[in-house]
Structure 1
Amino acid sequence: MEINWPLRATTLCILLGSVIPGEGNADVMDDSHLSINFRNLYLNRNFTNHDAPADQIGNWSQGFDLQFESGYTDTPLAVGLDVNGQFAVRLDAAGNDGSLPYSHQDEKAARDYGRAGATLKLKYANTSVKVGDIKPNYPVASNDPSRLLDTVYQGAVIESRDIDRLTLVGGRFWSIVTRESSNHERLYRYGTADSLDSDGLDFAGATYSLTPTLQASYFHGVLNDIYKQDYGGVKHQWDAGNGYVLKTDIGYFNNREDGSARSGAVDNRAYSALVTLEKSGHLFGASYQRMTGDTVFPTLNGYVPQLYLPNWAGMPFIRPDERSWSVRYGYNFAAIGIPGLRLFTRYIKGTDIDRGEGLSRDQESERDIVVSYAIQNGPLKGLGFELKNYRTQQQYGNDYDEYRLVTSYTWNIW
């Protein structure tokens, strides 16, 4: 068993004890929360093309996520400390599906793995600072909740809401623990050698609510000496009356190499738009996503998903020159008296993929079905089940049919 107990956690605990006055301790504990999430994952991916490297990969595993969130001291500069620990155990596994640490030498997934850390929190007025473990949701760095243990970044982030309707954020991430790892490692570009890493990811962003239903965002990030990224986005929600709500989400990324370009050329622009219409539990949607430039959309090590791209699914649809569109449908059964039960389906088609000079263009598609249910009452309230089925096809590449069954429950200890 390998569990990483970062030195930063100890340092932060000592720091917190030294800066909290005695009279502030009550607020820290009275407003604190301790919870543990139990997450069981069964994943089975069957390759359906005759020349696939393996017939089947997958795993059955159990994860535990313990989270302590403190309150803040009752001081002008409020101080708090969050502590976390995650652990996962393999129940069964075949091949490498990206969920668990995997030894290519032994050709076997790890029996178990874990990590732990802490986050120092500071707050003054409507400005907060966090140093330590962070799970961000920004265009330039996002979390990955798709398997057992989440992606965790280490860094420092400042966020301010002191100006009405404006949220400002900035910071630096210097390392990452990916979903299938215990180790804190420096950031690098996914698909390249880990020796081509960066000193850190610096970023800044702003989100402004022009009206209660119209929001605009801009972010700039630099993975030093690898790539830099700009993002601009607009979100709008329109109440059309009679229960109809129309939502529009438009985004643009501009990615290019930075400094010494340690991982090679980066030349990518991504345009996207997602429109959804909701009415009486029904959701209808369509999206379009366009890649331009000579390289794939850059992502961080650990294959961290880009959640601001609407067609990122089992496959990301981010290859050079790729044009992809999707249609989707969802239904919340609470509308007919079955709260907790939801259905979501989606079909995505990608075309015009540039495979390189002299090679014919590629195309790919994916069909998703997701059914989820959470118990609403009784002693098992909150126990959730989610069944996913992905079916993918590529003209040049591997096709697969994948099932995932996730069972989750959070016990709020206090």
Structure 2
Amino acid sequence: MRVMKWSMIALAVAAGTSQFAMASSQDESKGFIEDQSLKLKTRFEYMNRDFKNGAGNGTSGTAGYRQDSGLSQLLTYESGFTQGTVGFGLDAMAMGSVKLDGGSGHRGNGLFANDSDGNPEKSQGKIGGAVKFRVSDTVLKYGQQFVASPVFATDDSRLLPEVATGTLITSKEIKGLELSAGRFTSLSKQTGMGRDSIGGLPDENGNGGKGLTNINIFGASYSFTDNFTGALAASDADDYFKKYYVNLNYTLPINDEQSLNFDFNGYHTKGESRGDLVDAIGDGTTGVDNNLWSLAAAYSIGAHKFTLAHQRSSGDNAYYYGVDGNSTIFVANSIQISDFVGRDERSWQARYDLNMKTYGVPGLSFMTRYVMGDHITTNGLGEGKENEWNAESKYVIQEGPAKDLSFRLRYAMYRSNGAYSGYSSDNNDTRLIVEYPLNIL
């Protein structure tokens, strides 16, 4: 992925705008108030990690398990765009959470921040906003926002989401082609109320590094056909690394009831050769140099889907992410507990999905998967191995006053051998997530 490729895409957009964009989104704008929306998402989450084989909760220093639960609300407002050649709009967000259960002895699941005494906060909240402008089918947004780029993605796996601050431009001037570019200057973690609260790589003494300074991101995705799409992305995180991403996704329809899907994802991450950067899992290397890819094949027949996936990590160390968002890992074997991205790791996945709509219960689904990883290079401890089994059930109410209310039960069992036990302790992970999205406006 060379810079020249991005320039060529940009030129193609400039040359093709007048030819292909007949009626733009801005031409169809109804107005600032007329197109506004106000949504409230309420979430309850219970999380328990029960450690095995004598492992303890290293976060609190107590043996046994981590357990807590809480309730959160996320209110998001999006205005429409004013009419005219250049449309103007505003977005805003307000979020908060309250602790229902969980003490200092069992903290560490990432649902709450800790106060000065080391106890989980009883409540927390934050607000943010952004201004936005639209010309034709190109939107520029500046301020606090959620981002879903494969090289910079805000995480929403706990009670509150991460929030990024910066500028993002998204363009859809040519049918099937989406371009994006952005610069972000801070990232607030899920339990952090400050604008720049995410941690960085540890330094050579093992101390936590500074958070995100600046990250530039670029992306392009194109639908070649209705069944074949491709994407490229790149990022440059100051003081950390440059990251490149590619995706190819192809669906082969067999008949009305059957199809095959192939999904390839690949990353190349290269960090600066600085002595104060060490590998995230402590294998003694400096800087970041990693290649990571996965290939998944899924066969769907009626209510059933069967998936096989293979994933490989290579280079001087493991794949690293976090300072660029805790969801910046778009690969097949990134699952409930482990990502299977250790140094030189090879992993296989087998997965089964069932949609009960075919059997008269719309909204009910089941999933189970098993991933096994080996060939992990450790710091003189021999070959690392790990495996994880997941099971999940979800039900979404389809109609009535509680329409879209969902109940999701997730279970994971993770195990690793002695050579890799420092990555994550053996544990059983149980989560219950109840979510209710409400469209107010």
TM-score normalised according to structure 2 size: 0.84
- Whether the aligned pair in 2 keeps the contact of 1:82 and 1:118 (CA below 8 Å) is yes
Deviation, structure 1 residue 178 = 1.1
Q: Deviations over 1:224-259 (max 9, x none)?
A: 121001111111111112411211111211111148
Structure 2 equivalent of residue 252 of structure 1: 266
Match of 1:413 in 2: 440
CA distance in 1, matches of 2:138, 2:235: 21
Aligned ranges for residues 125-204 of structure 1 at < 5 Å? 125-185=136-196, 189-190=200-201, 193-204=207-218
Deviates more, 1:294-303 or 1:214-223: 294-303
Tell me which residue corresponds to 2:399: 377
Percent same amino acid at aligned positions?
27
| 2:342 aligned partner | 319
Aligned: 1:350 with 2:373: yes
Aligned partners of 2:254, 2:271: CA distance in 1, in Å? Answer: 43
Q: 2:415 aligns with which of 375, 388, 393?
A: 393
Name the residue aligned to 1:43.
Answer: 47
> How far has the Cα of 1:177 moved from its partner?
1.2
Contact 1:223 1:258 in 2 (8 A): no
Q: Give the superposition deviation at 1:297.
A: 0.8
What amino acid sits opposite 1:42 in the alignment?
A: Y
What CA distance in whole angstroms lies between the structure 1 residues aligned with 2:296 and 2:53?
A: 32
Question: 1:317 is matched by which residue type in structure 2?
Answer: F
Match of 1:59 in 2: 68
Give the Å deviation of 1:83: 0.7
Q: Distance in 2 between matches of 1:258 and 1:48?
A: 38
Query: Post-superposition shift, 1:46?
Result: 0.5
| Alignment of 1:100 onto 2:112 | yes
**Secondary structure of residue in 1 paired with 2:76:** strand
Among candidates 336, 346, 351, match of residue 328 of structure 1: 351
301-310 or 111-120, which deviates more: 301-310
Amino acid at match of 1:281: A
- Match 2:317 to one of 272, 276, 295: 295
Unaligned runs of 5+ in 1: 1-24
Q: In 1, distance between residues paired with 2:143 and 2:354? A: 39
Match of 2:35 among 8, 31, 34: 31
The CA deviation string for residues 27-60 of structure 1, in whole angstroms up to 9 with x for no partner, is 2112111121110011111101213343010211
Give the structure 1 partner of residue 95 of structure 2: 86
Residue deviations 1:360-398 (CA, integer Å, cap 9, x gap): 111111111110101112211111100000110011321
Give the distance between the partners of 1:163 and 1:204, measured in 2 at CA: 17
Please tell me whether the aligned partners of residues 305 and 312 of structure 1 are also in contact (alpha carbons under 8 angstroms): no
**After superposition, what is the alpha-carbon deviation per residue over 1:160-195, rounded to whole angstroms, capped at 9, x for unaligned?**
111232211111111111112111117664556554
Cα 1:259–1:323 change in 2 (3 A) is closer
Tell me by how many angstroms 1:65 deviates: 0.5
Change beyond 3 A, Cα 1:269–1:302: closer
Report the AA paired with residue 329 of structure 1: Y
Paired letter, 1:68: Y
Equivalent-residue separation in structure 2 for 1:185 and 1:328 (angstroms): 37
Contact 1:49 1:399 (C-alpha < 8 Å) held by counterparts:
yes
Deviation at 1:260, TM superposition (A): 5.4
Q: Are residue 74 (structure 1) and residue 88 (structure 2) matched?
A: no
The alignment partner of 1:347 has SS state of strand
What is the identity, as a one-letter code, of the residue corresponding to 2:237?
Answer: L
Match of 2:431 in 1: 404
In structure 2, relative to structure 1, the CA distance for the partners of 1:394 and 1:259 (3 Å cut) is closer
- C-alpha change, 1:188 and 1:203, in structure 2 (3 Å) is farther
Greater CA drift, 87-96 or 25-34: 25-34
Contact 1:178-1:301 within 8 A present in 2 as well: no
How many residues end up aligned between the 2 structures? Answer: 388
Q: Specify the SS of the correspondent of 2:32.
A: helix
**RMSD of aligned alpha carbons:** 1.9
What CA distance in whole angstroms lies between the structure 1 residues aligned with 2:250 and 2:30? 42
Structure 2 CA distance for partners of 1:186 and 1:202, relative to 1, 3 Å: farther
Q: Is contact 1:226-1:262 (8 Å) kept?
A: no
How far, CA to CA, are the matches of 2:241 and 2:323 in structure 1? 13
- Is the partner of 1:309 in helix, strand or coil? coil
Contact 2:154 2:326 in 1 (8 A): yes
* Superposed CA offset, 1:330-389 (max 9, x none): 111111111110111111111111111x32111111111110101112211111100000
CA distance in structure 1 between the aligned counterparts of 2:324 and 2:174, rounded to whole angstroms: 36
**1:61 to 1:222, Cα distance in 2 relative to 1, 3 A:** same
Q: Who is 2:14 aligned against?
A: none
C-alpha separation between the residues in 1 aligned to 2:365 and 2:329? 21
Aligned to 2:120: 109
Match of 1:227 in 2: 241
Instruction: Kindly indicate whether the alpha-carbon contact (under 8 Å) linking 2:274 and 2:287 is maintained by their aligned counterparts in 1.
Output: no
Give the structure 2 partner of residue 16 of structure 1.
none
User: How has the CA–CA distance of structure 1 residues 377 and 187 changed in structure 2, closer, same or farther, with 3 Å as cutoff?
Assistant: closer
2:254 partner SS? strand
Contact 1:346–1:367 at 8 Å: present in 2 too?
Answer: yes
SS of residue paired to 1:334: helix
| Letter of the structure 2 residue corresponding to residue 56 of structure 1 | Y
Write 1 or 2 for the structure with the bigger share of strand: 1
The answer to whether the aligner puts 1:218 opposite 2:240 as a matched pair is no
